[in-house]
Copies of this chain bind each other. A is one copy, B any other.
């Protein structure tokens, strides 16, 4: 068991980075290298590989380890790399985290359960089992909206004796949960808000960081909002956030992957290739999203001289 004091207290902006593919659905290693570098250069505080936004559900265990290895190589210690664990069985998760630990990732993002609507007892057992086996600092990803498993403040209180669990990514779509978590748990866990268009609200109400999506295309603006709020410059942060909101809404959609990959393509840092059953946006839907993105680009706030 680690000394808690030895464990990291993650904070700041952690993008859930998209996974890059060639047109034939194979991994595009060079594109990923460029993109991880782009994120770090723009000031993010960590990298999360192969989350939902990273199309985890279409990747093999081997591919996910390869992506984590790329991130580690690019980061080279500049920011922590967290491998997302979203296997649908405990057995598979154990195989995966063994590999991730060998690679030397700095931590995990861990979903309590996928596809199966586990109850709290099952979800907590799964989280403990995987985190203890990995022996790595872990951010638990709570997303009852998408995954029908809800770990509530009282469950995190119960899990508090597992030292590896150092942070919570909260994606309930219920901003009140942040205050409930704080009231129940104090500062036992670092709290990350996992919903892009609740990020200002989350930081205002006391979150320690953002697990961000549109950051993949707009890292400088995401980092600026975070830093302004740390500096209590709320009005300036709100102004950028109001500009950003139509873009951030693109993260709260079944098509978030395609939306964000289109944004990456339009700002010149990625392409639209996805793995099936996902297909790239077409027709009126693509136009509507592209219009929102283009308007965002055209009215981009000037960040120079902010800090």
Binding site for B on A (CB under 8 A): 25, 57-60, 88-92, 112-119, 121-123, 125-126, 129, 148, 175-176, 179-180, 182-183, 197-198, 200-201, 204-206, 232, 234, 238, 241-242, 245-246, 249, 254-255, 275-279, 282
CA distance A176 to B90 in the complex (A): 35
Decide: A90 and B205 in contact? CB cutoff 8 A: no
Checking B91, B113, B148, B200 against A204 with a beta-carbon cut-off of 8 angstroms, the contacting residue is: B200
* A122: B residues at CB distance < 8 A: 276-279
A175 to chain B, nearest CB (A): 6
- Whether A115 and B116, one on each chain, are in contact in the complex, defined by CB atoms closer than 8 angstroms, is no
Contact at B125–A89, with CB atoms within 8 Å? no
- Give the number of copies in the complex: 4
Q: How far is the CA of A90 from the CA of B55 in the complex (A)?
A: 12
Complex alpha-carbon distance, A126 and B279, angstroms: 10
- Cβ–Cβ contact A198 & B183, under 8 A: no
Q: Given contacts A116-B57, A197-B176, A201-B201, are A275 and B245 in contact (CB under 8 A)?
A: no
Query: Given the complex of chains A and B, what is the CA–CA distance between A276 and B94 in angstroms?
Result: 11
Residues of B within 8 A of A238 (CB): 205-206
Asked if A234 and B204 make an inter-chain contact with CB atoms under 8 angstroms apart, the answer reads yes
B245 to A126, Cβ gap below 8 A? no
Are the C-beta atoms of A242 and B57 separated by less than 8 Å?
Answer: no
